[in-house]
């Protein structure tokens, strides 16, 4: 058991003998002996305090997570100083739980990997300073992690997906399409020009007061919309997908949010319902907004696939599209994407929901990927800073727009 010792360092020194530790860092297989890489991953970029220990074969030896969702649901969104305080209160316990579950002592780790970009400054700061104390105390290499790179590479922990592949990351804070050519080799094809789809769904759910709906009170906004949409008719309201004339792979969700906002105000007037109460047409609105968002996401992704195939950046017949992020757990959006991948002879892969949202496993796995590739492993952490804003890879969004690829119309029968 590791015990916090504030004066001596983050954890007190483990009492195991050196020889035993040395032997534990090897894995024995009949007839062969190989060095087993073990990485501790730490994630605090937004509203989840998470940690995990993963080995180089992708085995998750231990993990722990503390989600702040419930607290932020009550305040109607993330309040950064509150998130920071909750990370501070939980990080030591979460890291200790992940290590204890893995039965790995800090001295046995090959490296410590931590999200340092992008994210909320106050949240990133907690994870980084805690990690640097651990790194200093146990004299371990440090691997700074780009949160979106980690989301993109998670699939390789589960499937033997080879580079290159296309990735669509859709969450509460992020929305991008990128071609993954290697561990830290990305081409950015498109991104949201304003808010992310999860943020839009959260705002619509709040405007619809779904937290007061008996079936949705504990759900995130996106999950509540998905749940309620099943009871509604997507064609009851005709909401046009955004950016229909822009032949690029960028996204936009704030216009859609405002359209829905005005629709809700109009319906409140018609139904004689004050703001803050649930409309009788709430399910129809949920269905329409989900359908419109799904069509928009599908169309931009379709264009990205066609662009990559046209430029021979992806295989013609064996291309892979990976979809991840909290919004990727939406089955309606997944079905819309399946229509696109079926039409373009691509394989659609999604990590399971618990690996789609923020977690420590993806950070540890990104650390393993970087260790194996020998990129970004630091033995000196002097000058290391967190970066709240940080693009992913080489931005070729303009080139994608200039190609102006026309996307054939697909029947979105979901
Ligand atoms: P971030 O950390 O960028 O906020 P996460 O990956 O933690 O995002 O995912 C949270 C987001 O995913 C929230 O915006 C939430 O509403 C959305 N979400 C979760 N489940 C669903 C779902 N079933 N359908 C659509 N959106 C969802
Ligand atoms: Mg999150």
Residues 273 and 327 placed together within one structural domain of the fold = yes
Tell me the best of 71, 72, 172 to mutate to test the pocket of ligand 1, counting ligand atoms within 8 Å of each CB and taking the most. Answer: 172
Q: Is position 414 within any domain?
A: no
Report the separation in Å between the CA atom of 170 and the middle of ligand 1, taken as the mean of its atom positions.
8
Residues 181 and 100 placed together within one structural domain of the fold = no
Residue 36: the pLDDT is: 83
Q: Is position 254 within any domain?
A: yes
Residues 180 and 119 placed together within one structural domain of the fold = no
Q: State how many domains the chain has.
A: 2
Give 9's pLDDT tier (boundaries 50, 70, 90). Answer: low
Report the separation in Å between the CA atom of 175 and the middle of ligand 1, taken as the mean of its atom positions.
11
Q: Check residues 33 and 380 and name the one with the higher pLDDT.
A: 380
Mean pLDDT of 354-364: 95
Report the separation in Å between the CA atom of 140 and the middle of ligand 2, taken as the mean of its atom positions.
28
By residue range, what is the domain housing residue 106?
4-154+357-373
Report the separation in Å between the CA atom of 338 and the middle of ligand 1, taken as the mean of its atom positions.
19
Residues 141 and 89 placed together within one structural domain of the fold = yes
> Residue 289's domain is classified under what CATH number?
3.30.420.40
Closest ligand, as measured to the CA of 151: 1
Q: Is position 408 within any domain?
A: no
Residues 107 and 172 placed together within one structural domain of the fold = no
131 close to 364: Cβ distance less than 8 angstroms: no
Report the separation in Å between the CA atom of 58 and the middle of ligand 1, taken as the mean of its atom positions.
25
Residue 35: the pLDDT is: 54
Instruction: Give residue-wise pLDDT tens across range 17-72.
Output: 444 444 444 444 444 344 589 999 999 999 999 999 999 999 999 999 999 888 88
Closest ligand, as measured to the CA of 198: 1
Indicate which residue's Cα is closest to atom 25 of ligand 1: 222
How far apart CA 269 and CA 393 sit, in angstroms, is 47
Report the separation in Å between the CA atom of 283 and the middle of ligand 1, taken as the mean of its atom positions.
19
Indicate which residue's Cα is closest to atom 20 of ligand 1: 223
- CB count within 10 Å of CB 189 equals 30
Tell me the best of 200, 327, 355 to mutate to test the pocket of ligand 1, counting ligand atoms within 8 Å of each CB and taking the most. Answer: 327
Q: Is position 339 within any domain?
A: yes
Q: Is position 380 within any domain?
A: no
Give 293's pLDDT tier (boundaries 50, 70, 90). Answer: very high
Locate the ligand 1 atom nearest the alpha carbon of residue 357 and give its number: 6
Q: Is position 383 within any domain?
A: no
Q: Is position 389 within any domain?
A: no
Q: For the chain, give the secondary structure using H, E and C.
A: CCCEECCCEEECCCCCCHHHHHHHCEEEECCEEEECCEEEEEECCCCEEEEEEEECCCCEEEEEEEECHHHHHHHCCCCHHHHHHHHHHHHHHHHHHHHHHHCCCHHHCCEEEEEEECCCHHHHHHHHHHHHHHHHHHCCCEEEEEHHHHHHHCHHHHCCCCCCEEEEEECCCCEEEEEEEECCEEEEEEEECCCCHHHHHHHHHHHCCHHHCCCCCCCCHHHHHHHHHCCCCCCCCCCCCCCCCCCCCCECCHHHHHHHHHHHHHHHHHHCCCCCCCCCCHHHHHHHHHHHHHHHHHHHHHHHHHHHHHCCCCCCCCEEEEEECHHHHCHHHHHHHHHHHHHCCEEEECCCHHHHCCCHHHHHHHHHHHHHHCCCCECCCCCCCCCCCCCCCEECHHHHHHHCCCCCCCCCCC
Residues 203 and 345 placed together within one structural domain of the fold = yes
Residues 228 and 256 placed together within one structural domain of the fold = yes
Instruction: Give residue-wise pLDDT tens across range 100-143.
Output: 999 999 999 999 999 999 999 999 999 999 999 999 999 999 99
Q: What is the mean pLDDT of the chain?
A: 91
Residue 44: the pLDDT is: 98
Report the separation in Å between the CA atom of 363 and the middle of ligand 2, taken as the mean of its atom positions.
14
Q: Is position 93 within any domain?
A: yes
Report the separation in Å between the CA atom of 354 and the middle of ligand 2, taken as the mean of its atom positions.
11
Locate the ligand 1 atom nearest the alpha carbon of residue 202 and give its number: 16
Locate the ligand 1 atom nearest the alpha carbon of residue 173 and give its number: 3
Locate the ligand 1 atom nearest the alpha carbon of residue 46 and give its number: 2
Locate the ligand 1 atom nearest the alpha carbon of residue 201 and give its number: 16
Give 10's pLDDT tier (boundaries 50, 70, 90). Answer: low
Mean pLDDT of 166-189: 96
Residues 242 and 282 placed together within one structural domain of the fold = yes
Give 318's pLDDT tier (boundaries 50, 70, 90). Answer: confident
Which residues have CB under 6 Å of ligand 1?
Answer: 46, 171-174, 198-199, 201-202, 220-223, 226, 325-327, 329-330, 357-358
Instruction: Give residue-wise pLDDT tens across range 197-239.
Output: 999 999 999 999 999 999 998 899 999 999 999 999 999 999 9
Residue 60: the pLDDT is: 96
Residues 187 and 319 placed together within one structural domain of the fold = yes
Residues 271 and 141 placed together within one structural domain of the fold = no
Residues 317 and 272 placed together within one structural domain of the fold = yes
Residues 269 and 300 placed together within one structural domain of the fold = yes
């Amino acid at each position: 058991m590791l015990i916090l010792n504030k004066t001596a360092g983050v954890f007190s020194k483990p009492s195991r003998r050196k020889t035993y530790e040395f032997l534990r860092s090897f894995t024995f297989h009949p007839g062969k002996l190989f060095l087993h890489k073990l990485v501790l991953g730490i994630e605090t970029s937004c509203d989840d305090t998470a940690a995990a220990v993963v080995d180089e074969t992708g085995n998750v030896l231990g993990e722990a997570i503390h989600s702040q969702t419930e607290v932020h649901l009550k305040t109607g969104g993330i309040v950064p100083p509150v998130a920071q305080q909750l990370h501070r209160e939980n990080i030591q316990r979460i890291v200790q739980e992940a290590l204890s579950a893995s039965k790995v002592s800090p001295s046995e780790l090959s490296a410590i990997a931590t999200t340092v970009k992008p994210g909320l400054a106050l949240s990133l700061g907690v994870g980084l300073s805690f990690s640097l104390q651990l790194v200093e105390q146990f004299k371990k290499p440090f691997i700074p992690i780009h949160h979106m790179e980690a989301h993109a590479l998670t699939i390789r922990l589960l499937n033997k997906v080879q580079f290159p592949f296309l990735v669509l990351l859709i969450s509460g804070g992020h929305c991008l399409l990128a071609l993954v050519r290697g561990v830290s080799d990305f081409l950015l094809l498109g991104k949201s020009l304003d808010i992310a789809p999860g943020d839009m769904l959260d705002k619509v759910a709040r405007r619809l007061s779904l937290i007061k709906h008996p079936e949705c009170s504990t759900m995130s906004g996106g999950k509540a919309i998905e749940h309620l949409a099943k009871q509604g008719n997507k064609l009851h309201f005709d909401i046009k997908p955004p950016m229909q004339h822009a032949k690029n792979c960028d996204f936009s969700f704030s216009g859609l949010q405002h359209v829905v906002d005005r629709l809700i105000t109009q319906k409140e007037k018609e139904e004689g319902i004050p703001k803050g109460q649930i409309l009788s047409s709430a399910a129809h609105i949920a269905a329409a907004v989900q359908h419109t968002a799904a069509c928009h996401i599908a169309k931009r992704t379709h264009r990205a696939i066609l662009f990559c195939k046209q430029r021979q950046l992806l295989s013609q017949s064996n291309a892979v599209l990976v979809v991840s992020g909290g919004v990727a757990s939406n089955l309606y959006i997944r079905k819309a994407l399946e229509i696109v991948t079926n039409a373009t002879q691509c394989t659609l892969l999604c990590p399971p929901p618990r690996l789609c949202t923020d977690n420590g496993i993806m950070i540890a796995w990104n650390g393993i990927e970087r260790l194996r590739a020998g990129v970004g492993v630091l033995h000196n952490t002097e000058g290391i800073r967190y970066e709240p804003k940080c693009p992913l890879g080489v931005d070729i969004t303009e080139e994608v727009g200039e190609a102006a690829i026309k996307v054939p119309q697909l029947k979105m029968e979901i």
